[in-house]
A and B are shown apart, each in its own frame.
Chain A
């Protein structure tokens, strides 16, 4: 088959609707922080119009696009801007190849498997100065950048599918982060579902592909999409709902697969995908949510990940956590954290990453809450880097509240 990937003529013609209004430019976090990026309007719809059916133009500034999706949200014409920039990234990588660092960073799954297998060693190594100096020099990974820890007892090792025959059934798309770095998040999610009487199974799955898209490795991302669509659809057709605890994975399954895969199967799957909090909110709306939650008297700051907002579902984490008696949660309202997945691990993007994170860091400081809540593991990484507050996932808090409630009952 000819390289269909860059034949976007039929794939996405939403660029034709662009009115050049600049709403996307105004809402782009990166454009606000640096002039080194050409802005979403130019790198997306504008460039696409100039190359469609014509000679392609490679613009290396596309590397600065984080695929955060704020442009898509802001567009009054529903131009699929981040889809267009994802393809511009793919074109750039196709023409220039990806360097070793970007190859490694975009392989979150492989890295996760290996790093967790030697977890104590990996974690210690990442804290060793000489090691980091070498990494900065050889791989252009900034010495000062914190890395998420890897867990030896990853979720793959600990979780066993348990079929209970409940009315609602969940096929859990774990994602690399909860699998290898934060198995506690995954375990908490399973607990929360069990407290709601819902069985959880873990289908065969690969990395959702978002880190690959961000590094222009479109072919690999499409391969993974195909695998996941097939694997997850099997469950969907058996009556399972697909639920994610990572907002980037959620966005991929709901939206990216529609554009990079585009098959009817991708569409069928997308209609059955929920973010974990969104799923619980849905249960609540149907009167099926277990509200037996013990009070937690904490003051908490909530950071909304870009990929959560890009799903266009409101703020389900806030909606659900507010059901916990005494829980006092405030939206930090600080926009993009600046980690932006693999972006913040790159030396040449580090300054921009730090600059972007400043608003969030200040917001956390001003609120001075007990801890911070966010769904996204990468946002957590930046919060860990820039603030001294503990960072937790909504599922961890819910699980704690449910457990506490059961404890109170049994005592």
Chain B
């Protein structure tokens, strides 16, 4: 039997754009349901650099995106303290980089009002010991690091706390229309196969790289350029600041510190398929060769994995032949009623992680206008609960490293963790690389069905360290069965899926230690644990 849900706004896409919109709607008292085909942020929103732009990168080429980024940078630092690390950033000029660009860049940053300060090189080398000693100039900018995983979860949780609803693993199969306006969407639960109508006055397409699929269902034209970028993860955090190359933006010129690793990227290659997360060895090697200019020892440092995600860039004219770098990083808000005569459908695309809040504000302003609601945006001031806690977990029998991690991670869940940590299982460190206890993992397992190690990873960092889940994926699955949180079949399936996904990211960087790590992982799973080769055992 078909169910039906009733709401004011249906948001398609559980990335950071959709999440931001859902929260903004909820804070303005508008009823909304968010629909996501997979797990929250499985696409672009957890497949990026985690960079909080200061705007400097776009100062010369795209001043509009630059100023937007800078303003949002200031707002997010205030309102989302728990997911942002104020690392500061450096723009570094190395030999061969264009002097004229530096002058233009400085002038533009000055004009835009973005604070840039030259730092003596001796000081920079002290702060960043791995930086190229031949660097010619360095400037401090207000860049930062964003934890895109916690950000997304916290934004969604806040929306839900304010009355919004989310449906993950629900795929949109139809956009419901009546004459010249949309009436809702038809969705299918990917776990149970159950189908549901969601009736809504307004449907927002925030599906990112999948946005064109939604437009097609609604029968409206939309051209999004899916520009796939590749990133690599180093096994430890070797830089204190975000390190940018001071030149016209290109491939392989940003190093971002993220918790205990450094993320380096990126590339840009257009792809037609939004599900294309492929990784190319040559592309990575080219990128590393460029990165050497900033970090000369780059080839001696251990890489633990690579990943890719697509930027959904909006092309007004739908022109071909663009390489992606020259398309604006600005956002595109499309009122399909106005543009295509289909009322009630809005597409929001383009933009950046840094500007997600502004994208949501503009989208919801339009929604308010359409619904005739007079409620101002509150996300400029409303602060999300912090992730950092103090004076907790002192009673738990925990390794100081695990306690240290929890103190910057637990947030509003602290009392819950504290209770769970009192028993022996709870305080067991399951993932050693990232120091994650069973208490944290248990909280991330959904109450009914859908035991998925990827979903747990996005909520806890399980398996994101150098061993890439060699040990912890198995431990987590086994404990879940032991504790009655998953059945054996489910756990086996999750384990195979989790390991296969980790191996994909390791395979492309598998030289030196990571090649050995991969071999060890394969041997453990195939020989010791008797898993068949990829695919054979999948249910």
Chain A contact residues, CB within 8 Å of chain B? 9-10, 16-21, 38, 41-42, 46-47, 49-50, 52-55, 57-61, 77
Contact of B217 with A by CB under 8 A? no
Question: Complex Cα distance A46/B260, Å?
Answer: 11
1/0 per position for B409-438, CB-CB distance to A under 8 A? 000000000000000000000001101000
**B433 touching A19, Cβ below 8 Å:** no
Query: In the complex, what residues of B have CB within 8 A of residue A58's CB?
Result: 400
**A20 touching B432, Cβ below 8 Å:** yes
Query: In the complex, what residues of A have CB within 8 A of residue B433's CB?
Result: 20, 46, 49
Question: Complex Cα distance A60/B398, Å?
Answer: 12
Query: In the complex, what residues of A have CB within 8 A of residue B466's CB?
Result: 16, 18-20, 49
1/0 per position for B391-415, CB-CB distance to A under 8 A? 0000000011100100000000000
Nearest opposing residue in chain B for A19, CB measure:
B517
Known: A42-B432, A54-B237, A57-B401. A20 touches B467 (CB 8 A): yes
Query: In the complex, what residues of A have CB within 8 A of residue B517's CB?
Result: 19
Q: What secondary structure prevails in chain B residues at the interface with A?
A: loop
Q: Please give the distance in Å from B184's CB to the nearest CB on chain A.
A: 48
Question: Complex Cα distance A52/B470, Å?
Answer: 23
Known: A20-B467, A20-B470, A41-B432. A59 touches B400 (CB 8 A): yes
**A49 touching B236, Cβ below 8 Å:** yes
Nearest opposing residue in chain A for B260, CB measure:
A50
Query: In the complex, what residues of A have CB within 8 A of residue B401's CB?
Result: 42, 46-47, 50, 57, 59
Query: In the complex, what residues of A have CB within 8 A of residue B129's CB?
Result: 9-10, 53
**B516 touching A53, Cβ below 8 Å:** no
Nearest opposing residue in chain B for A38, CB measure:
B399
**B237 touching A53, Cβ below 8 Å:** yes
Question: Complex Cα distance A370/B493, Å?
Answer: 61
**A42 touching B399, Cβ below 8 Å:** yes
The 6 closest A-B pairs by CB, nearest first: A20-B467, A59-B400, A16-B302, A49-B236, A17-B513, A57-B400
What are 9 A-B contacts with C-beta separation under 8 Å? Answer: A19-B466, A41-B432, A42-B401, A50-B404, A52-B236, A53-B129, A53-B238, A57-B401, A59-B401
Q: Please give the distance in Å from B467's CB to the nearest CB on chain A.
A: 4
Question: Complex Cα distance A61/B402, Å?
Answer: 14
Query: In the complex, what residues of B have CB within 8 A of residue A61's CB?
Result: 399
Query: In the complex, what residues of A have CB within 8 A of residue B516's CB?
Result: 19, 77
Question: Complex Cα distance A47/B236, Å?
Answer: 11
Chain B contact residues, CB within 8 Å of chain A? 129, 235-240, 260, 301-302, 399-401, 404, 432-433, 435, 466-467, 470-471, 513, 516-517, 520
Query: In the complex, what residues of B have CB within 8 A of residue A52's CB?
Result: 236-238
Q: Output the residue of A18, A58, A60 with the most chain B CB within 10 A.
A: A18
Question: Complex Cα distance A20/B302, Å?
Answer: 14
**A77 touching B399, Cβ below 8 Å:** no
**A50 touching B467, Cβ below 8 Å:** no
Q: Please give the distance in Å from B491's CB to the nearest CB on chain A.
A: 21
Query: In the complex, what residues of A have CB within 8 A of residue B240's CB?
Result: 53
Q: Please give the distance in Å from B91's CB to the nearest CB on chain A.
A: 20
Q: Please give the distance in Å from B436's CB to the nearest CB on chain A.
A: 12
Query: In the complex, what residues of A have CB within 8 A of residue B238's CB?
Result: 52-53
Query: In the complex, what residues of B have CB within 8 A of residue A42's CB?
Result: 399, 401, 432
Query: In the complex, what residues of A have CB within 8 A of residue B404's CB?
Result: 50, 55, 57
Taking a contact as CB atoms closer than 8 A, the residue among A16, A50, A54, A60 that contacts B435 in the complex is A50
**A19 touching B260, Cβ below 8 Å:** no
Q: Please give the distance in Å from B113's CB to the nearest CB on chain A.
A: 32
Question: Complex Cα distance A10/B126, Å?
Answer: 12
Query: In the complex, what residues of A have CB within 8 A of residue B237's CB?
Result: 52-54
Taking a contact as CB atoms closer than 8 A, the residue among B236, B399, B520 that contacts A16 in the complex is B236
Question: Complex Cα distance A50/B461, Å?
Answer: 14
Given known contacts A20-B433, A41-B432, A59-B401, what 20 new A-B pairs fall within 8 Å (CB)? A9-B129, A10-B129, A16-B513, A17-B302, A19-B520, A20-B467, A20-B470, A20-B471, A46-B433, A47-B401, A50-B404, A52-B238, A53-B238, A53-B239, A54-B237, A55-B404, A57-B400, A59-B400, A60-B400, A77-B516
Nearest opposing residue in chain A for B400, CB measure:
A59
Question: Complex Cα distance A41/B533, Å?
Answer: 30
Q: Output the residue of A19, A38, A55, A57 with the most chain B CB within 10 A.
A: A19
Query: In the complex, what residues of B have CB within 8 A of residue A17's CB?
Result: 302, 513
Query: In the complex, what residues of B have CB within 8 A of residue A41's CB?
Result: 432
Q: Output the residue of A46, A53, A55 with the most chain B CB within 10 A.
A: A53
Question: Complex Cα distance A18/B432, Å?
Answer: 12
Q: Please give the distance in Å from B461's CB to the nearest CB on chain A.
A: 12
Query: In the complex, what residues of A have CB within 8 A of residue B399's CB?
Result: 38, 42, 59, 61
**B400 touching A16, Cβ below 8 Å:** no
Question: Complex Cα distance A46/B236, Å?
Answer: 10
Question: Complex Cα distance A46/B239, Å?
Answer: 18
Q: Please give the distance in Å from A91's CB to the nearest CB on chain B.
A: 11
Query: In the complex, what residues of A have CB within 8 A of residue B239's CB?
Result: 53
Known: A10-B129, A58-B400. A46 touches B520 (CB 8 A): no
Question: Complex Cα distance A296/B240, Å?
Answer: 66
Question: Complex Cα distance A41/B432, Å?
Answer: 10
Question: Complex Cα distance A93/B213, Å?
Answer: 61
Question: Complex Cα distance A47/B435, Å?
Answer: 10
Question: Complex Cα distance A47/B432, Å?
Answer: 10
Question: Complex Cα distance A363/B112, Å?
Answer: 79
Question: Complex Cα distance A47/B465, Å?
Answer: 13
Nearest opposing residue in chain A for B262, CB measure:
A53
Nearest opposing residue in chain B for A47, CB measure:
B401
Query: In the complex, what residues of A have CB within 8 A of residue B432's CB?
Result: 20, 41-42, 46
Nearest opposing residue in chain A for B403, CB measure:
A57
Q: Please give the distance in Å from B86's CB to the nearest CB on chain A.
A: 14
**A21 touching B520, Cβ below 8 Å:** yes
Question: Complex Cα distance A18/B237, Å?
Answer: 15
Q: Please give the distance in Å from A316's CB to the nearest CB on chain B.
A: 32
Query: In the complex, what residues of A have CB within 8 A of residue B236's CB?
Result: 16, 49, 52-53
Query: In the complex, what residues of B have CB within 8 A of residue A57's CB?
Result: 400-401, 404
Question: Complex Cα distance A59/B401, Å?
Answer: 8
Query: In the complex, what residues of B have CB within 8 A of residue A54's CB?
Result: 237, 260
Q: Please give the distance in Å from B122's CB to the nearest CB on chain A.
A: 13
Q: Please give the distance in Å from B242's CB to the nearest CB on chain A.
A: 14
**A16 touching B467, Cβ below 8 Å:** no
Q: Please give the distance in Å from B111's CB to the nearest CB on chain A.
A: 35
**A19 touching B235, Cβ below 8 Å:** no
Q: Please give the distance in Å from A94's CB to the nearest CB on chain B.
A: 15
Question: Complex Cα distance A17/B513, Å?
Answer: 6
Q: Please give the distance in Å from A36's CB to the nearest CB on chain B.
A: 11
Question: Complex Cα distance A20/B400, Å?
Answer: 19
Query: In the complex, what residues of B have CB within 8 A of residue A60's CB?
Result: 400
Nearest opposing residue in chain B for A48, CB measure:
B236
Q: Please give the distance in Å from A326's CB to the nearest CB on chain B.
A: 49
Q: Please give the distance in Å from A289's CB to the nearest CB on chain B.
A: 42
Question: Complex Cα distance A77/B519, Å?
Answer: 14
Q: Please give the distance in Å from B309's CB to the nearest CB on chain A.
A: 26
**A77 touching B513, Cβ below 8 Å:** yes
**B467 touching A19, Cβ below 8 Å:** yes
Nearest opposing residue in chain B for A45, CB measure:
B466
Query: In the complex, what residues of B have CB within 8 A of residue A20's CB?
Result: 432-433, 466-467, 470-471
Q: Please give the distance in Å from B405's CB to the nearest CB on chain A.
A: 8
Query: In the complex, what residues of B have CB within 8 A of residue A9's CB?
Result: 129
Q: Output the residue of A42, A49, A61 with the most chain B CB within 10 A.
A: A49
Q: Please give the distance in Å from B326's CB to the nearest CB on chain A.
A: 36
Question: Complex Cα distance A38/B433, Å?
Answer: 14
Q: Output the residue of A18, A20, A47, A54 with the most chain B CB within 10 A.
A: A20
Query: In the complex, what residues of B have CB within 8 A of residue A19's CB?
Result: 466-467, 513, 516-517, 520
